[in-house]
A and B are shown apart, each in its own frame.
Chain A
Amino acid sequence: MKKHILLSLFALLLSFSMNAQSHPKDKHDHDHSEHADHDHGDHSHDNHKHDGKAHDDHAHGDHGCHFHHHPEGQEYTPKDVANTAFHHISDANVYSIGPWQIPLPCILYAPETGWDVFLSSKFKFKSTGHGDGYSAYKGYILDAGTVKRITDPSFPRDVDEVPLQGIIHKTEMVDGKEKTVAYACTGEAMYRTDPKSIADAGIFGGGISSFYDFSITKNVTSMIIVFFGMLWLFLRVAKSYVTRNGMAPKGLQSFIESIFVFIQDEVAKPFLGHKYLKYQPFLMAIFFFVLGLNLWGQIPFFGGANVTGNIGVTMVLAIFAFLVVNLSGNKHYWEHIIAMPGVPKWVLTILTPVEFLGIFIKPLTLMLRLFANITAGHMVIIVFVSLIFMFSKGGTSMAGGLGTAVGSTLLTIFMMAIELLVAFIQAFVFTILTASYLGAAVEEPHHH
């Protein structure tokens, strides 16, 4: 238990150069050995539409590749809902807009074969499917939008492209844990694949595998888009302060100014006092970046990017907060951590370890809070949509489907309104907590 926590903390720190993305399928698809995973009922993509057509393309393999289609009326169980939800909140190597899949660059590194850089369109996935590649490229396959690597040494590696019939998922025991393993099926044989390395010490279903993914994934693309959007917005606003010097703010300028001044007056000044100007750029950067990413993820049918709901992203933000707080901590701050003045000696034996742990727990909760709030919001919406498929009993119950569809749609709209609020609140909370930790670190001692 203790070992697990230490391991996970260490691993979390390690993973910040990587896209830490959970592979929920690996842990939730326990008994999918009988049917191809991508046939699990709904698999609605970010457009939340039933995407049944793509399933029909799987040819039936003759040599060990058996694709079991869900028969009409197949129950759509809560477990399928969980799978769908986890699939949609995880990162992908394709960007989906509406029903279309847009290829993204893959930058992959395997110790055996070295670096491989190519566009994920090489996997020949259907442009309106759900991101299953029908071709293996340089030993990599695309399974539901995520790159996996064929580890089987017997796989023909002399050719770059090998056409695939499909991908089969089996449940296997790996290191004493049940895991779903994807097999690439060429029609003649099946080849075992590895998911990408995730530095989480195997706790969230990841671990170090045979390759590393440094791709420009869906989340990275979203971050780049939000970054340039923010750059454009703020340069424009900054310019209008020059051109409209001395005049009242107008249009976009007055919109941004009101938010900016709100953060300045509510967050920066009360917590940081007269030093607020030094740390204000950092607080503003965090606030607007988190807000931008939160709102970007709220756009329906547009990628459904879950960037701030990715623990890797929030961890990097929290690490920045951690570094800024602790590197600007003054003597007074460290004194209160190492030996709180005015406290009996024996109390210090308890207080100092607690205070010391507090240094790390603060950024840890920053990381978890943003991650959990945004992820939960995305999941609730997906679960509401999935309810339609559950109650329509795989398309057989018209009344159930229609009734739930109306209720679910209304609830989804309600949830999205709440999520809009949460997007602002969480960006605000991240900033205000960073400011309060920062305020405690740079506070001047009071002489009584």
Chain B
Amino acid sequence: MVGSIAAIGMGLAVIGAGMGIGKIGDSAMQAIARQPEAVGDIRSNMILMAALIEGAALIAIVMAFLVAGV
């Protein structure tokens, strides 16, 4: 039971991270379209931001693992 709830928690964390990274991708694409010469800067900042969001999601997933008591 606890395991199933933890799985739902993991799913929610993934939804959150997916929305966040999707938003970054969206705005990065727009930014590149508007200013193609800044593509290098935009790309590395995009990856950095995505990695930070991913970090929050990863902590949530690890917490879910701990709660599930694998």
Whether the pair B59, A266 counts as a contact (CB closer than 8 A) is no
B40: which of A8, A204, A266, A372 is its contact (CB, 8 Å)?
Answer: A266
Known: A429-B47, A429-B48, A433-B48. A27 touches B70 (CB 8 A): yes
- Mark interface residues in B11-22 (1 if CB within 8 Å of A CB, else 0): 000000000000
Taken together as a complex, chains A and B put the C-alpha atoms of A177 and B68 apart, in Å, by: 12
- Cβ of B31 < 8 Å from any Cβ of A? no
- A residues sitting closer than 8 Å to B (CB atoms) are 1, 4-5, 8, 27, 177, 203-205, 266-267, 361, 364-365, 368-369, 372, 425, 428-429, 432-433, 436
Taken together as a complex, chains A and B put the C-alpha atoms of A361 and B58 apart, in Å, by: 11
User: What's the nearest-Cβ distance from chain B to residue A347, in Å?
Assistant: 22
B44: which of A4, A8, A266 is its contact (CB, 8 Å)?
Answer: A266
> Sorted from nearest, which 7 A-B pairs have the closest CB atoms?
A365-B55, A429-B51, A368-B58, A266-B44, A27-B70, A432-B48, A372-B58
User: What's the nearest-Cβ distance from chain B to residue A102, in Å?
Assistant: 31
Question: A433: which B residues are within 8 A, CB to CB?
Answer: 48, 51-52
User: What's the nearest-Cβ distance from chain A to residue B29, in Å?
Assistant: 17
User: What's the nearest-Cβ distance from chain B to residue A408, in Å?
Assistant: 24
Chain B residues 21 to 70 lying within 8 A of chain A, measured CB to CB, are 40, 44, 47-48, 51-52, 54-56, 58-59, 61-62, 66-67, 69-70
Taken together as a complex, chains A and B put the C-alpha atoms of A436 and B55 apart, in Å, by: 15
User: What's the nearest-Cβ distance from chain B to residue A288, in Å?
Assistant: 18
User: What's the nearest-Cβ distance from chain B to residue A445, in Å?
Assistant: 23
Q: A267-B44, A432-B44, A432-B51 are in contact. List 11 more A-B contacts (CB 8 A).
A: A1-B66, A1-B67, A4-B66, A5-B66, A8-B66, A203-B70, A365-B58, A368-B58, A369-B54, A429-B51, A432-B48
Question: B54: which A residues are within 8 A, CB to CB?
Answer: 369
Taken together as a complex, chains A and B put the C-alpha atoms of A180 and B52 apart, in Å, by: 37
Question: B48: which A residues are within 8 A, CB to CB?
Answer: 429, 432-433, 436
Q: Number of A-B pairs whose CB atoms are under 8 Å?
A: 44
User: What's the nearest-Cβ distance from chain B to residue A69, in Å?
Assistant: 29
A-B contact pairs, 8 of them (CB 8 A): A8-B66, A27-B70, A361-B59, A369-B54, A369-B55, A425-B47, A433-B48, A433-B51
Question: A432: which B residues are within 8 A, CB to CB?
Answer: 44, 47-48, 51
Taken together as a complex, chains A and B put the C-alpha atoms of A266 and B70 apart, in Å, by: 40
Known: A266-B44, A429-B47. A372 touches B61 (CB 8 A): yes
Taken together as a complex, chains A and B put the C-alpha atoms of A177 and B14 apart, in Å, by: 28
User: What's the nearest-Cβ distance from chain A to residue B45, in Å?
Assistant: 9
Taken together as a complex, chains A and B put the C-alpha atoms of A361 and B61 apart, in Å, by: 14
User: What's the nearest-Cβ distance from chain B to residue A135, in Å?
Assistant: 33
User: What's the nearest-Cβ distance from chain A to residue B32, in Å?
Assistant: 16
Question: B47: which A residues are within 8 A, CB to CB?
Answer: 425, 428-429, 432
A366 nearest in chain B by CB position: B55
A203 nearest in chain B by CB position: B66
Taken together as a complex, chains A and B put the C-alpha atoms of A205 and B68 apart, in Å, by: 12
Taken together as a complex, chains A and B put the C-alpha atoms of A337 and B30 apart, in Å, by: 36
User: What's the nearest-Cβ distance from chain B to residue A310, in Å?
Assistant: 16
Taken together as a complex, chains A and B put the C-alpha atoms of A5 and B44 apart, in Å, by: 33
Whether the pair B70, A369 counts as a contact (CB closer than 8 A) is no
Whether the pair A368, B62 counts as a contact (CB closer than 8 A) is yes
Question: B40: which A residues are within 8 A, CB to CB?
Answer: 266
Taken together as a complex, chains A and B put the C-alpha atoms of A369 and B50 apart, in Å, by: 11
Question: A361: which B residues are within 8 A, CB to CB?
Answer: 59
